[in-house]
Structure 1
Amino acid sequence: MSQIPEPRRVGNADIIHHEGFDDSIVSPFVPAIRTVSNARLVFISGVTGAPVYHDHPHVPEVFDSMPTDAAGQVRNAFEHLDQALIAAGCRRHDVVNMIRFFTDVEADQDVVNAHQAEWFGGHIPTSTTVQVTRLATDRRLRFEFHVVAAAPA
């Protein structure tokens, strides 16, 4: 029977692993994160490669300047995530959960995983990845991330 590692404190949360954990496996998520009692949860609206502030109903021309490739969109998305985290008093290691919506997981997941790993710099949040038919903002968007962070009290 494998040894269950002790939780590891990162920022305002404990990283939780369970039986079967193998630190030689490369993974973009951890099984569980427990926030500390004085943390405040921050819920960040869907982050994409499109401009954060845009009209509703959507004006398609507003999105003409966004990149159409996965690498360009993921750079923009994580820049937007940085802006939201900083505005909420958080840092990258405060992210505890990501729900990732892809329009084509097979085509884009590896690009996103590589950028995400570099961006987090070793921190790994909990994560769920799903494929959807399209995203609401603009049909040229390839993915969208819903993020929850644990801000310091």
Structure 2
Amino acid sequence: MTTVPAPRPVESGSAEILHHEGYDEAIVSPFVPAIRVVSNARLVFISGVTGAPVYHDHPHVPEVFDAVPADIAGQVANAFDHLDLALQAAGARRSDVVNLIRFFTNVGEDQDTVNRHQGQWFGGHIPTSSSVEVVRLATDHRLRLEIQAVAAVPA
């Protein structure tokens, strides 16, 4: 029988990382199976961010997106910069992120680059996450990634 590790506090102290039977610390993974938010945390829900400017007209004006990098490396860097801005506005840190939902237009081609950038960006913190491949993103057909997040900020 596998021993299940005790809950481990997230750096911010507002959540605990939970593992279950089958956990092997030797496996490299960009997500953990569960995070429990403690009662004194404030939840912050962050709308999906992409490589495009966060603030843009609706209906969309295609020319606004002409300056967005075409490659996934440029788009993921922009998306995480935009996530930083939203976290800062909420008084949150990267280590407060408890969940990511990642939408890819080509998961096979882009996931490794995104995982590398995400790992460096979090600097050792690993949130829960889901990755989904979609036909396209609503903002602009040239976008390849959208990231939605939830943070648990100490009260």
**Structure 2 length as normaliser, TM-score?**
0.98
Q: Contact conserved, 1:96 with 1:149, CA < 8 A, in 2?
A: yes
- Backbone CA RMSD of aligned residues: 0.5
Tell me the CA shift for residue 152 of structure 1.
1.4
Q: SS where residue 98 of structure 2 aligns?
A: strand
Tell me the CA shift for residue 110 of structure 1.
0.2
- Aligned partner of 1:141 in structure 2 is 143
- Aligned partner of 2:110 in structure 1 is 108
Q: Contact conserved, 1:98 with 1:127, CA < 8 A, in 2?
A: yes
- Aligned partner of 1:22 in structure 2 is 24
Q: What letter is aligned with 1:33?
A: I
Tell me the CA shift for residue 108 of structure 1.
0.2
Q: SS where residue 3 of structure 2 aligns?
A: coil
Any idea what the Cα deviations from partners look like across 1:68-127, whole Å, max 9, x if unmatched? 100000000000000000110100010000011000000000000000000000110000
Q: What letter is aligned with 2:40?
A: N
Tell me the CA shift for residue 151 of structure 1.
1.1
The answer for unaligned runs of 5 or more in structure 2 is none
The answer for unaligned runs of 5 or more in structure 1 is none
Q: Calculate percent identity across the aligned residue pairs.
A: 73
- Aligned partner of 1:45 in structure 2 is 47
Q: What letter is aligned with 2:44?
A: V
Q: SS where residue 98 of structure 1 aligns?
A: strand
- Aligned partner of 2:8 in structure 1 is 8
- d(CA) in 2 for partners of 1:2, 1:92: 31
Q: SS where residue 40 of structure 1 aligns?
A: strand
- d(CA) in 1 for partners of 2:80, 2:149: 11
How many corresponding residue pairs? 153
- d(CA) in 2 for partners of 1:34, 1:47: 24
Tell me the CA shift for residue 16 of structure 1.
0.3
